[in-house]
A and B are shown apart, each in its own frame.
Chain A
C-alpha cells in the first residue's frame, strides 16, 4: 500500500537555484546583448514613434498686434492674433497645423491690408520665447516692434511643437501621400505573384527533373542576392529606357514606373523565394508520388493534389517574404519608379527632400503595418512547415523524362538568361564610354573619385563595413543565441531576448535608419558621439539583419546535444570552456554562414544606412544610389558591379575557408 500523499503543493515560494558563477555570467551576457538590442532597436523605434506624434502648429495666441490709422497714429487697442482669426476665420485650421519648417504670414488677419498703405503695425510676442521672423531675421521677446505695411507683410510666424495626431491627419488628407499605400500594396502583390510563380517553376524544374546544368542554374538563381536591389533598375534603364537596347519590347510604355519596379523586384527577390520553395519541395514525400502513380493519377492531377499541397507552406512563406522585401525596398523604386510613389521612397523624399522628419516618421509608421503583418504570418507558417518536415521521410528522386526535362531546361534557361542578362547589361554599361553616342570601351566610368557619391573610398568603406559587421555581428549574434538557448530558467529575460531578436525582421531598413537619426542624433543622448561614425553603420547593419542570423545560430545550436552543458557542469567545467572547445568548433559552418550573410548584406544594403552615412563613411551601395541620382548612371552600374564581384569573391573565399576549416577542425565528421 502506498502511503497516501497530499494532493496540493505545500504553500511557500518555489525553490530557486543558487546561482553559480556560470549562471551569473550567462545571465550577464543575455542582459548585455538584450541591452544592446534595446538600445539599438527598441529605443530608436520609440524615438521614431514619438516623432510621428510630435506635431507642429502656429500659435496665434502668442502674438499681439496694434494697427494705426492712415496717419500712422495708434489708438492703443491691442489685438490678439488668435482672437482676430477666431472672428475672421481667414486662417483655416489646416493651415494652422503645419510641419517644422512651416511659415505663416499675418496679412490674412487684415482683409484690407495693402503693402502700399501708410498704415503702421505694432507687433509683440506674449511670452519671452515667442519667435517671429521679419524677413529672415529672428525676433524674440515681448517688446513692441513698429513696422510699416511693406515690412508687415514680411513678418511670418514659426511653428511651435506639440503632441498629437495632426501629422496623421495631414498624411491621410494628402492624396499624393496616402496613395502611396495603395501603390506599394499593388506593386508588392503583383511582384509577389510573379516572383513566387517563376521561382516555383524554377525550383520545381530543379528538384523534379533530370535536366543538365542544375548546379549552374542554382548558382545563377542565387546571384541577385549579391547585388544591391537598385542595380536591376539601372540595367532596366539600359534595356528598356528611351535609349534602351530593347525599348521596342515596351511598346511605348514607360519603364519608369510600375513595370520597372515589378521587373526589378522580381529580379532581386527571386533568390529568396527560390530558396524557400526549394526547401519546401525537398521535404515532400516520395511515397505520395508513388501512391499517385499506382492510382494512375494524371501528372496534372498529381501536381495539384500532391505537389502543391506539399509545398503550400513554402509557397505562403515565400510569398510573404517577397511581399515584405518589395514593400520595404527603397533603392529600386527610387531608381526606376519615376512618378510612381511608394512608401519607402516617400520616407526618403520627406526626410531628405523636405526635411520633414515628422512626416517621415508618420510614413514609417504606416510602412511598419504591412511589414509587421507579413512578418507575423510568415513566422506562423514557418512553424507549421517545421512540423511538416519532421513528419516526412522518403526523399523524392526524379526519373529522367526526355520531354519534361527539355521543357524544364528551356524554362530554367530563360530565367537564367534574364538574371545573367541583367548583370551583363550592367557590366556592359559600366564599360561603355558614353551610351548611346560613343560605344567604345573604356574604364572612365570607374573613375569614381571625380563623381558624387564618395569615390573609391566609398568602396573601401563598404568592405570595411562588411568585415566589421561580419566580425562583430557574428560574435554578438552567436553569443546571444547561445545564451538564450542554454541559460537555465530565467524565463522572462530569455522571452524578452527572443522577442527583441525576432523584431528586426519586421522593421524596414528605412524605418530603422530614420529611427536611428531620431535616437542617436539627439544631443541629450550620451551615445550621440556614434552618430556619423562607422560604428553606427555597423550597429544598424547588425541590427537590421539580426533575425536571420539569430535563427541560423539557434538552428545550429538546437542540433547539438542539449546535455553538453549538463555534462560540463557535472565535470565542474565553466560554460565558456565548453563554448570555446566544443560549441564553436561544432557550429563553425553555421558561424561562417552568418558571417558571409552579414558581409554580403552589409555590402548591398541601402535602406538602413542611407540616413546614417557621413562623408567619411560613404558606402559603395549608397554611391550607386547617389551616382544614379546625379545622373551618372554608368558609373553607378560600374560600382554596382564592383559590389557584385566583391560579394562573389567573398562567397568563394567563404566556400574555401569553410571547406578548409571543415577539413581541419571537423575531422570528427568523417567516419
Chain B
C-alpha cells in the first residue's frame, strides 16, 4: 500500500514537474550543421517533450566570438556541438558550469574534460583528412598523396588548398596537429615546405574539400566528414588519411555558467551523453564519444579511428594565440609578397 501510494505521489509530482517545466525553453548555441539540428531536437524531445530548444547556430568562429562577446551577459543556456578548443577557451574565462552528466563515466575518457567535475563532454570527433580529386589529379598527372610529407613534394606545387588557421577551426586543428606530431621545430619546417605548394588559404574549413570536389583544385586539406558528403553527392573524390596521423577536434557540450534554467540545462546535457544521442551523432560522424556505438559511415575512410593522434587540447588552447601569431608572421605576409 505504502509502496503504491508513494508511486502515485511520485507520478503526480512528476506530472506536476513536467507541467511546470513544459514552459522551459533553452537557448542552445551550436555549430552543428544546419541540416542535423532538426533531427537532434526531435530526438531529444522524444525523451523530453517538456523542454523546447531554441537553436542559435553559426560557424564555429562566429559562435565562439558571440559567446566570448557575451561573456558578462550570457544569452545561452547550453552549448551543444562546439569545438572543444573553443570550450576550453570559455572554460578558462570561467564561463562554463562544471557538471558531471549522468552516465558520463561510460564515455571514452578522451572525450571528457579532465577536471572534476568536468566542464564539458565530447560528442563526436571531427577529423582532418585530405580530399583528392581523382579526375583533376589524372588530368594533371598527379598521384594521390598518402602522407602529409607527400604534400610538400614539388609536383604538388600550386595544387593544394588548406584553410587559414586564423579564420578556420579546421585550419588550426591541422596546424596544431602538425606541431604535436612533428614537434615545434619540425612542425614549422613542415609548414614552410607545405606553404610553397599551397595555392591559397581559404577562410572556411569545408571549402578546400568542396573546391576539390568541384575540381577547382586537385587537393584540399579539410575534414573527413565534409569529404564523405561531397563524395556522396557524386564528386570524384578520394578521402585520404595521411599515414602520419590526423589531427582532430571534437564537438562538445557544456552548460553556460549563470543560466537561469539550470535544471533543464542539466536534463539536456544528461541526454547528450546517452547512447541514443551518440547513435544519433553517428549519422554524420564516424567517431563518437560512446564506445561501441559507432557504425561505419558511408564513404568514410576506414582507418580513420586509428590514425587520430592523441590530441592535447590543453596545449592547443593555451598556445593558440602564439601559434596563430607565428603562422601569420610566416605565411600571411610571405604569401602577399608573392602576388
The answer to whether A176 touches B204, judged by C-beta atoms less than 8 angstroms apart, is no
In the complex, are the beta carbons of A452 and B59 less than 8 A apart?
yes
- Interface residue B303 (Cβ < 8 Å from any Cβ of A): no
- Residue A521 lies at the interface, judged by CB distance under 8 Å to chain B: yes
**B319 part of interface (Cβ distance < 8 Å):** yes
Known contacts A174-B329, A353-B167, A451-B34; decide if A105 and B214 are in contact (CB<8 Å): no
Chain B residues with CB under 8 Å of A340's CB are 336, 339
Please tell me if A254 contacts chain B, counting CB pairs below 8 Å: yes
Inside 8 A of B321's CB, which chain A residues have their CB? 98-99, 101-103
Residue of B nearest to A528 (CB): B73
| A20, CB-defined interface residue at 8 Å | no
Mark out the residues of chain B between 202 and 235 whose CB falls within 8 Å of any chain A CB in the assembled complex.
202-204, 206-211, 213-217, 233-235
Check A158–B92 contact: CB distance below 8 A: yes
Whether A101 contacts B214 in the complex (CB less than 8 A), given A257-B339, A339-B200, A434-B234, comes out as: no
Instruction: Say yes or no for A663: interface residue by CB 8 A criterion.
Output: no
Interface stretch (choices A129-137, A142-150, A649-657): A129-137
B117–chain A nearest beta-carbon distance, Å: 12
Which of A352, A523, A616 gathers the greatest number of chain B CB atoms within 10 Å? A352
Contact with A along B60-100 (1 / 0, CB 8 A): 01101100111011010000000000001101111000000
Q: Which listed residue, B91, B207, B332, touches A629 by the CB 8 Å rule?
A: B207
A residues less than 8 Å from B58 (CB atoms): 615
Give the complex CA separation of A349 and B332 in angstroms: 12
Q: Is the CB of A631 within 8 A of B61?
A: no
Nearest-Cβ distance from residue B33 to partner chain A, whole angstroms: 7
Closest to A156 in B: B318
Given contacts A103-B318, A452-B59, A136 and B91 within 8 Å (CB-CB): yes
Smallest CB separation, A80 vs chain B (Å): 23
Q: Which residue, A133, A339, A434, A523, has most C-beta atoms of chain B within 10 A? A: A339
Q: How far is the CA of A176 from the CA of B338 in the complex (A)?
A: 13
B109 interfacial contact with A, CB 8 Å? no
Q: Which residue of A lies closest to B169 (CB)?
A: A353
Q: Does A383 contact B (CB under 8 A)?
A: no
Is the CB–CB distance between A338 and B203 below 8 Å?
no
Is B300 among interface residues, defined by CB-CB distance under 8 A? no
A450 touches B34 (CB 8 A): yes
Query: Which listed segment binds B: A119-127, A235-243, A583-591?
Result: A235-243
Flag whether B115 is at the interface (Cβ < 8 A): yes
A361 to B89, CA, bound (A): 21
Q: Is the CB of A175 within 8 A of B68?
A: no
Q: Is B293 in contact with chain A by the CB < 8 A criterion?
A: no
**In the complex, chain B residues whose CB is within 8 Å of the CB of A532:** 75
Is A101 a contact partner of B336 (Cβ separation < 8 A)?
Answer: no
Select from chain B the residue with minimum beta-carbon distance to A434. Answer: B234
Q: Does B306 contact A (CB under 8 A)?
A: no
Instruction: Judge whether A241 and B216 touch: CB under 8 Å.
Output: yes
Q: Taking the nearest CB of chain A, how far is it from the CB of B89, in angstroms?
A: 6
B316 CB → nearest A CB, Å: 11
Q: How far is the CA of A340 from the CA of B33 in the complex (A)?
A: 29
Residue of A nearest to B200 (CB): A338
Residue of B nearest to A349 (CB): B167
Tell whether B262 is near chain A: CB-to-CB under 8 Å: no
Asked whether B56 lies within 8 Å of A615 as measured between CB atoms, the reply is yes
Q: Give Cα A451–Cα B324 distance, bound, in whole angstroms.
A: 29
| Cα-based distance from A633 to B206 in the complex (angstroms) | 12
The answer to whether the Cβ of A334 comes within 8 Å of any Cβ in the partner chain is yes
In the assembled complex, B320 has its CB within 8 A of some CB on chain A:
yes
Residues of B within 8 Å of A136, CB to CB, are 88, 91-92, 113, 115, 119, 313-314, 317-318
Please, which residues of chain B bring their CB within 8 A of the CB of A614? 56
Please report the C-alpha to C-alpha distance between residue A257 and residue B338 in the assembled complex, in whole angstroms: 11
Task: Given A339-B201, A528-B73, decide whether A355 and B64 contact each other with a Cβ distance below 8 A.
Answer: yes
Contact of B336 among A138, A154, A341, A352 (CB under 8 A): A341
Beyond A339-B201, A626-B59, whether A101 also contacts B320 by CB under 8 A is yes
Residue of A nearest to B29 (CB): A615
CA distance A451 to B339 in the complex (A): 33
Collect the chain B residues with CB atoms within 8 Å of residue A28's CB.
none
- Binary per-residue interface labels of chain B (304-337) against chain A in the complex, 1 for a CB within 8 Å, 0 otherwise: 0000000001100111111010001100110110
Contact (Cβ within 8 A) A452 B34 = yes
User: Which of these, B33, B61, B201, B314, contacts A352 with CB under 8 Å?
Assistant: B61
A434 to B207, CA, bound (A): 15
For B274, the chain A residues whose CB sits under 8 A away are none
- Most A CB contacts (10 A, CB to CB) among B94, B166, B214 go to B214
B35 close to A (CB within 8 Å): yes
Instruction: Find out whether the CB atom of A138 lies under 8 angstroms from the CB atom of B94.
Output: yes
Residues facing A in B231-271 (CB within 8 A) are 233-236
Looking at the assembled complex, report how far the CB atom of B225 sits from the nearest CB atom of chain A, in whole angstroms.
13
Q: Are B216 and A174 in contact (CB under 8 A)?
A: no
A residues 141-194 in Cβ contact with B at 8 Å: 154, 156, 158, 174-176, 179, 183
Q: Within the assembled complex, what's the spacing in Å between the Cα atoms of A438 and B314?
A: 45
Evaluate contact between A353 and B236: CB separation under 8 angstroms: no
Is A480's CB within 8 Å of the partner chain B? no
The minimal Cβ–Cβ distance linking A62 to chain B, given in whole angstroms, is: 16
Most buried by A among B92, B201, B324: B92
Docked Cα-Cα span, A664 to B203, in Å, equals: 53
**Is the beta-carbon distance between A176 and B203 smaller than 8 angstroms?**
no
CB B333 to nearest CB in A, in angstroms, measures: 4
Do B207 and A154 have beta carbons less than 8 Å apart? no
Q: Within 8 Å of chain A (Cβ to Cβ): is B164?
A: yes
Interface pairs (21), CB distance under 8 Å: A101-B89, A103-B319, A135-B114, A138-B92, A179-B336, A183-B336, A243-B216, A257-B339, A339-B335, A349-B166, A349-B203, A352-B65, A353-B61, A355-B64, A355-B68, A434-B234, A452-B34, A614-B56, A629-B207, A630-B59, A631-B211
**A179-B336, A353-B168 given; 13 more Cβ-contact pairs under 8 Å:** A102-B321, A103-B320, A135-B314, A135-B318, A137-B91, A138-B93, A174-B329, A451-B34, A522-B73, A615-B56, A629-B204, A631-B213, A631-B214
Which 10 A-B residue pairings sit nearest by Cβ, starting from the closest? A631-B210, A353-B167, A523-B73, A176-B332, A631-B207, A176-B333, A339-B335, A338-B200, A175-B333, A629-B204
Q: Which residues of A contact B (CB under 8 A)?
A: 98-103, 105, 131, 133, 135-138, 154, 156, 158, 174-176, 179, 183, 237, 241-243, 254, 256-258, 334, 338-341, 348-349, 351-355, 357, 434-438, 449-455, 517, 521-523, 528, 532, 614-616, 626, 629-633
